[in-house]
Structure 1
Amino acid sequence: MTSEVNAAAAPGATPGAPDSAAAPTAATPAPAAPLGTGSAREGAHHWWLERLTSLATFILFVWFAVSLLRLPGYDHSTVTEWLSSPLAAVPMLLLILATFWHIKLGLQVIVEDYVHDDANRLFMVLLVNFAVVLAAAFAAFAILKVALGAGPGAG
């Protein structure tokens, strides 16, 4: 049986080794990237970022819900006073960052999977990135405006 394996082995293969362990040749080049990275070589990284931003968003949303439930009231002055504290403003900014980053990653995957024309795909990814950054900037601006004390009539 081993003589059959050796006879069918690719040139340069180790005698007695199965075909999958054959040395790379022109017909069987060495893999260019680690397994699981996909054709773009970034699949595992993107997958991990989605999971990490999902976890961060979940933890920060739990913090946000608990923080709101602990407030004595929900009127404008109470919420503004709470949000002007660094212990509230910084996690809120992190919540905005994690949420919009997660949205960007998810929408990018949808576009890459379902838009097949290269030009349209590039346009849609750029549009998604622009829209998400713009929305995150407006949200961060609103938090910073409250946190730094600029009220509605200040400018």
Structure 2
Amino acid sequence: MDYRTPLSRAKGLGSAKNGTDHWWMQRITAVTLIPLSFWLIKFLGLSLTAPYQQTVDWLVSPVNSICIVAWIIAAFYHAALGLQVVIEDYIAAEGPKIISIWAVNLAFLFLAIAALLAVFRIVSIG
């Protein structure tokens, strides 16, 4: 016996509607973050041990700056997706749930923009 509505059967949607997209994006960003984290670890190691100019020279390299920018985008998006799942699981009331998700998404958007602007400023100065 099928408990789905005729509209959901026609669209091919289950009870989660678009949950599979969310699930896949979490997995894709997680897998993407694995190799990109090596660039971040290298960058953090340089920033802690190397002189400032050497760190800037490393970051100015196109491959390194693109990898750091990609890590920033993937990490903040992955974190926003993860916190959205936590909020959906633990906040029952719809109003606070929606407000919390919007607040988390906006906070991560602003943090990602700030991090990207910092990288772009270092790259443009170097």
Q: TM-score range by the shorter chain?
A: 0.7 to 0.9
Which digits, 9 at most, give the CA deviation of each residue in 1:78-124, with x for residues without a partner?
10111112121111100000000000100011111111111101110
Residue 106 of structure 2 is aligned to residue 142 of structure 1: no
Is the partner of 1:116 in helix, strand or coil?
Answer: coil
Question: What residue number does 2:15 align with?
Answer: 38
Report if aligned partners of 1:61, 1:95 keep a CA contact under 8 Å in 2.
yes
Cα distance, 1:62 vs structure 2: 2.2
**Mapped contact 1:86–1:147 kept (Cα < 8 A):** no
Higher helix share: 2
Shift of 1:65: 3.1
Does 1:92 find its partner at 2:83? no
State the TM-score, normalized to the length of structure 2: 0.83
Q: Percent identity?
A: 26
Corresponding residue number in structure 2 for 1:58: 34
Partner of residue 105, structure 1: 81
Residue 122 of structure 1 aligns with which residue? 98
CA distance in 2, matches of 1:95, 1:28: 40
Gaps of 5+ in 1: 1-19, 151-155
CA contact (8 A) 1:53 1:98 kept: yes
Q: Distance in 2 between matches of 1:83 and 1:28?
A: 53
**Off by >2 Å, runs of 4+ in structure 1:** 27-31, 62-71
Segments of 5+ residues of structure 2 without an aligned counterpart are none
In the comparison of the two structures, how many residue pairs are matched? 123
Paired position in structure 2 for 1:77: 53
